[in-house]
Amino acid sequence: MAESAEAPKLVYLVTGGCGFLGEHVVRMLLEQEPRLRELRVFDLHLSSWLEELKTGPVQVTPIQGDVTQAHQVAAAVSGAHVVIHTAGLVDVFGRASPETIYKVNVQGTQNVIEACVQTGTRFLVYTSSMEVVGPNVKGQPFYRGNEDTPYEALHKHPYPQSKAQAERLVLQANGRKVQGGLPLVTCALRPTGIYGEGHQIMRDFYLQGLRLGSRLFRAIPASVEHGRVYVGNVAWMHVLVARELEPRAELMGGQVYFCYDKSPYKSYEDFNMEFLGPCGLRLVGTRPLLPYWLLMLLATLNALLQWLLRPLLLYAPLLNPYTLAIANTTFTVSTNKAQRHFGYEPLFSWEDSRTRTILWVQGSTQ
């Protein structure tokens, strides 16, 4: 990828480009990557907003495809300079089977790696997750840690297990020779809980609050810190990494980076109230309404009901023992690795991120 004022010539592929994060990555690339000639957007389900992007100077190529199908992935990757692999099955609610989660997140990622190797694509950016590290099954806190902070990454749930396995595959693939003999350069980004325009769980909480008379009831102690990062900054970090992987291959190849910005450290619910408060909701209680053991009992009942009802219908509420454990365990990051390695600074301030999210929540129900 040569630095130039020449005609744009780069071809990028974004897998999962129609998802919550993927859409922001696609739009950010179009705004911030002047060397782009073609942007391929690969997804299981293509969104209608892609149409409006087709009128710009960059050729936007929608590709309906499935990452579990190796031949479809290879066809999409062929001729791309950079692949940003964000496609994934984000399921901590028991909607999909562990086998399906594994197939999409692990086999899908393996297919992307093999496609790069076979077709000669040299730069691969993988969207991993903080869940690769924790919270772990022991519920140990991770308090403002960085990429080198020791922590026992022990998981039982299929989502973090699959993301961890996929991340390992991506990092191990760094240095493999691709078609043409040059080495593959890979790295993985680990966002904490992403928020911003398009965040469906935030919208669900808003709708639930409206149904409950513009109130939500505190379930988690305010002292439990939960890491959050604005989607625009996560997208920006992907764009920067994709750009810097070639000139800084030695330093960045095979590395992991937490995605961070200046969003404040707060509990999951207090953080959501930064947006839902200005939308007219209030969080009732300075302490949890129900004791933790009762919440855990309800979460376990939900899991039991899910299992019992499975032959008849899909029962997948937000509360289950795993989501309760994540929400109730401190997990926050404090690092400047991305700044040191590739000059990352958040593109959106906290105030901007907050305003954009509030406007989206307000508009999302109309």
Ligand X SMILES: CC(C)CCC[C@@H](C)[C@H]1CC[C@H]2[C@@H]3[C@H](O)CC4=CC(=O)CC[C@]4(C)[C@H]3CC[C@]12C
By annotation, the residues acting in catalysis are 159
Contact stretch for ligand NAI (CB under 6 A) within 80-88, 109-117, 180-188, 243-251: 80-88
Q: How far is the CB of 272 from ligand X (least distance, A)?
A: 9
Q: For residues 142 and 323, what is the distance between their CA atoms, to the nearest angstrom?
A: 16
Binding test (CB under 6 A) with ligand NAI, winner from 1, 30, 44, 70 = 44
CB–CB of 66/44 below 8 Å?
A: yes
Q: How far is the CB of 154 from ligand NAI (least distance, A)?
A: 19
Q: Does 120 bind ligand NAI (CB under 6 A)?
A: no
Q: For 54-84, give the DSSP string.
A: TTSSSEEEEEE--TT-HHHHHHHHTT-SEEE
Binding test (CB under 6 A) with ligand X, winner from 36, 112, 184, 219 = 219
Q: For residues 76 and 61, what is the distance between their CA atoms, to the nearest angstrom?
A: 10
| Closest C-alpha to 85, from 42, 118, 54, 122 | 42
Q: For 220-252, give the DSSP string.
A: S-TT--B-EEEHHHHHHHHHHHHHHTTTTHHHH
Binding test (CB under 6 A) with ligand NAI, winner from 10, 39, 41, 67 = 67
In the bound complex, which residue of the shown chain has the CB atom lying closest to ligand NAI?
19
Q: For residues 22 and 43, what is the distance between their CA atoms, to the nearest angstrom?
A: 9
Fill in the per-residue mask, 165 to 204: x = in contact with ligand NAI (CB under 6 A), - = not in contact: --------------------------x-xx----------
Q: Does 201 bind ligand X (CB under 6 A)?
A: yes
Nearer to ligand X, 59 or 208 (CB): 208
Q: For residues 33 and 56, what is the distance between their CA atoms, to the nearest angstrom?
A: 13
Q: Does 43 bind ligand NAI (CB under 6 A)?
A: yes
Q: For residues 14 and 76, what is the distance between their CA atoms, to the nearest angstrom?
A: 10
The torsion of the CA quartet 61, 65, 68, 73, rounded to 10 degrees, works out to -40
> Which residues are near ligand X by CB under 6 A?
90, 92, 129-131, 193, 201, 219, 268, 318-319, 323-324, 326-327
> Which residues are near ligand NAI by CB under 6 A?
16, 18-22, 43-45, 66-68, 86-90, 104, 108, 127, 129, 163, 191, 193-194
